[in-house]
């Protein structure tokens, strides 16, 4: 029987489903002959997600010295010089020159677990950044095999991608988000196999196009939504090649002013056409958004799929950026790849039966561990590699391990810690250094009230040498002297302090040589906002990690009284559809939302 609950943090109502209760029982561990049941969460889905995000720094990078013995070289790190921990460069951290076990500590049964684990986190040296096999791509994080990239987060085997997030095998692109096998793209989101496509989302196998939404197999199209295998379409109308080229000339994207005009006109044009309630493909019995090749998964967002993996998710719930054959798991952020029986995990890959962990990798039977690789049967450990039967980084025999963990869990139960994820006060990051700021933007006072940390920015000694409004309108007019300028961010001039905090605005930015080269190649105008503000706006354009119960609006709607009527020129029938669905679009959203069946009738 499902259980109604009130979130301990935000006070909102939420439901613990029967399937959730069965899952908690299934993963409850047994130590010293006794099973310790994992209790239902006291926080709602969103508050649980925010708490996990607070333990992961993706984009706040710092230049600092390496703390390894005999090292004094500068490194790029997730921690600044004032961090309460030692930070080692990647090469030294992964070497055998030091042993995380040497920092092991006895568990004190008179004190709480989280307090002692927080002490261990500050004591064991931290790896500077997660950036493997990088070539000329130092300022990248959670990345693998990148070449010539800058501020690429989560990228894999991409080349010359800038200011992007989760690019997989992409090249020569900038300011993109969640895209795969793409080239020569700009401001492209949630797309795959595109070439020379800009300011677009949900595109597949498209080329030489701009301002497309949910278009597949299209080329030479502009300002259109819901197209399939079309060419020379301009604002959803077909033209000859010559007519199309003449119309597109009016929206020369090399010009910033014309770029802005295009954004406004396209946004208004899109409102004339329906949106599908969620992006769900090749899936069965799923609820959420951006779901592919999945089944029996609810409240799931941004499922990752790829070659070599049989499915996205199966029997999963409450997941954000997950997949690649993830099964029977709950409450993940950025975790996946052949993972099973996981719960409350942030980051990592390829795990079996890991709970309450941050970035576990290739491990099994972990509880309350952080950044452990190729480990099993460990509790409350950090930075370990290829270890078993460890508690707080101290080695035990199998029997000793089981007995001690049983005692620790019983202590945690008396303090209300058992079944809870790591609290915010032991995180080595401030709230505004983590993705929590972008998904759940809040002002400093509210952040502190909820028990999170906040990192005040240091007083900036620099002064912009050029206002954003003084930038040349067209990229064709920009010469290399721009590389010497420090440009003010438009947000810093136009937004309130509270908004700037939410965006983590840098207030000013420089145009890098490789950046200028790419803008010229892509024929797009220089940006007027700093990379942080641009990233924040991309995140917000994708909608909330939240679902709303709504009805298909195929017959239009009268917002004043909720009565449905045919107000749309693309209406396909005479009566309103009765379908209901869970969607990320709230009721007050301007867009008209259709069910899958009705939407497919509108596609051109």
pLDDT tens per residue, range 386-400: 999 999 999 999 999
As a whole number, mean pLDDT of residues 106-117 equals: 97
pLDDT at 558 over 70: no
Which pTM was predicted? 0.92
pLDDT in tens, 126-139: 999 999 999 999 99
- The pLDDT confidence band at residue 557, using thresholds 50, 70 and 90, is low
Banded model confidence at residue 567, pLDDT cuts 50, 70, 90: very low
- What is the per-residue pLDDT across 198-251, written as a single tens digit (0 to 9) for each? 999 999 999 999 999 999 999 999 999 999 999 999 999 999 999 999 999 999
The predicted pLDDT at position 335 comes to 87
Mean pLDDT on 55-68: 96
Residue 173: pLDDT over 50: yes
- Which pLDDT does position 2 carry in this prediction? 84
Using alpha carbons only, what angle is made at residue 534 by residues 528 and 536, rounded to the nearest 5 degrees? 145
Q: Which of 309-313, 422-426, 493-497 has the highest mean pLDDT?
A: 422-426
CB-hemisphere CA count at 13 Å for 69?
Answer: 3
Which helix (H) or strand (E) segment is 519 a member of?
helix 513-522
Q: Is 74's pLDDT higher than 60?
A: yes
Query: How far is it, in rounded angstroms, from Cα 334 to Cα 256?
Result: 35
Alpha carbon 345 to its chain centroid, in Å, reads: 14
Cα pseudo-dihedral 437, 442, 446, 450, rounded to 10? -40
Place of tokens 């998964």: 297
Domain boundaries, the chain: 3-45, 61-98, 194-276, 283-424, 457-541, 547-604
pLDDT of residue 563: 38
Residue 543: its pLDDT value, please?
83
Reply yes or no on whether the pLDDT at 327 is more than 50. Answer: yes
Considering only the C-alpha atoms of the chain, give the largest distance between any 2 of them, rounded to a whole number of Å.
80
Considering the chain, what percentage of its residues have pLDDT values greater than 70?
96
Residues 422-450 have a mean pLDDT of 95
What is the pLDDT at residue 570?
46
Query: Over the Cα atoms of the chain, what is R_g?
Result: 25
Q: Which residue has the higher pLDDT, 309 or 93?
A: 93
Q: Looking at the predicted structure, is the pLDDT value of residue 300 above 80?
A: yes
What sign does the dihedral 527-530-531-534 (CA atoms) show?
A: negative
Give dist(CA 34, CA 26) in Å, integer. Answer: 14
pLDDT higher than threshold 70 for residue 331: yes
Quick check: 115 and 126 in contact, CB under 8 A? no
* Mean pLDDT along residues 354-373: 97
């Amino acid at each position: 029987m499902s259980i109604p609950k009130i979130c301990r943090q935000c006070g909102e109502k939420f439901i613990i489903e029967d399937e959730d209760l069965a899952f908690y029982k299934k993963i409850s561990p047994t130590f010293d002959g006794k099973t310790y049941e994992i209790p239902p969460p006291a926080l709602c889905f969103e508050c649980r997600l925010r708490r996990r995000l607070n333990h992961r720094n993706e984009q706040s990078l710092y230049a600092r010295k390496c703390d390894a013995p005999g090292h004094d070289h500068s490194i790029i790190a997730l921690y600044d010089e004032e961090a309460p921990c030692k930070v080692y460069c990647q090469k030294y951290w992964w070497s055998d020159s030091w042993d995380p076990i040497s920092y092991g500590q006895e568990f004190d049964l008179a004190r709480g677990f989280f307090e002692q684990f927080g002490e261990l986190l500050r004591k064991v040296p931290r790896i500077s950044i997660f950036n493997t096999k990088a070539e000329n791509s130092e300022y990248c994080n959670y990345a693998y095999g990148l070449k010539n990239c800058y501020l690429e987060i989560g990228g894999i085997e991409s080349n010359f991608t800038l200011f992007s997030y989760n690019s997989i095998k992409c090249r020569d692109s900038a300011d993109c988000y969640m895209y795969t096998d793409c080239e020569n793209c700009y401001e492209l989101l949630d797309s795959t196999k595109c070439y020379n496509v800009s300011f677009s989302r949900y595109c597949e196998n498209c080329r030489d196009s701009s301002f497309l939404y949910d278009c597949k197999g299209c080329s030479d199209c502009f300002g259109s939504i819901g197209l399939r295998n079309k060419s020379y379409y301009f604002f959803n109308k077909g033209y000859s090649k010559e007519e199309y080229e003449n119309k597109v000339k009016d929206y020369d994207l090399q010009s910033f002013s014309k770029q802005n005009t295009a954004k406004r006109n396209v946004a208004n044009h899109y409102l004339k056409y329906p949106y599908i309630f969620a992006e769900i493909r090749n899936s069965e019995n799923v609820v959420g958004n951006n779901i592919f090749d999945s089944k029996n998964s609810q409240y799931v967002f941004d499922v990752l799929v790829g070659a070599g993996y049989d499915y996205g998710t199966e029997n999963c719930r409450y997941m954000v950026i997950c997949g690649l054959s993830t099964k029977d798991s709950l409450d993940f952020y950025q975790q996946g790849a052949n993972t099973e029986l996981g719960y409350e995990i942030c980051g990592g890959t390829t795990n079996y039966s890991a709970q309450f962990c941050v970035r576990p990798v290739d491990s099994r039977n972990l509880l309350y561990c952080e950044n452990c690789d190729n480990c099993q049967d460990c509790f409350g450990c950090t930075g370990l590699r290829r270890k078993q039967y460890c508690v707080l980084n101290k080695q035990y025999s199998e029997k000793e391990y089981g007995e001690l963990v049983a005692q620790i869990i019983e202590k945690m139960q008396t303090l209300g810690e058992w079944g809870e994820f790591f609290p915010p006060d032991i995180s080595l990051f401030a709230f505004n250094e983590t993705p929590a700021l972008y998904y759940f933007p809040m002002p400093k006072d509210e952040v502190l009230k909820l028990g999170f940390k906040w990192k005040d920015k240091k007083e900036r000694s620099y002064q912009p040498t050029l206002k954003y409004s003084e930038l040349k309108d067209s990229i064709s007019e920009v010469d290399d002297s721009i590389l010497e300028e420090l440009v003010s961010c438009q947000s810093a001039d136009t937004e309130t302090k509270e908004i700037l905090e939410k965006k983590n605005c840098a207030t000013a930015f420089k145009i890098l040589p490789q950046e200028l080269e790419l803008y010229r190649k892509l024929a797009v105008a220089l940006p007027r906002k700093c990379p942080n503000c641009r990233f924040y706006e991309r995140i917000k354009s994708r909608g909330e990690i939240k679902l709303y119960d709504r009805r298909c609006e195929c017959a239009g709607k009268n917002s004043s009284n909720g009565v449905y009527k045919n107000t749309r020129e693309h209406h396909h029938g005479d009566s309103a559809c009765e379908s209901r669905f869970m969607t990320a679009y709230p009721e007050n959203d301007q867009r008209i939302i259709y069910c899958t069946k009705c939407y497919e009738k509108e596609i051109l």
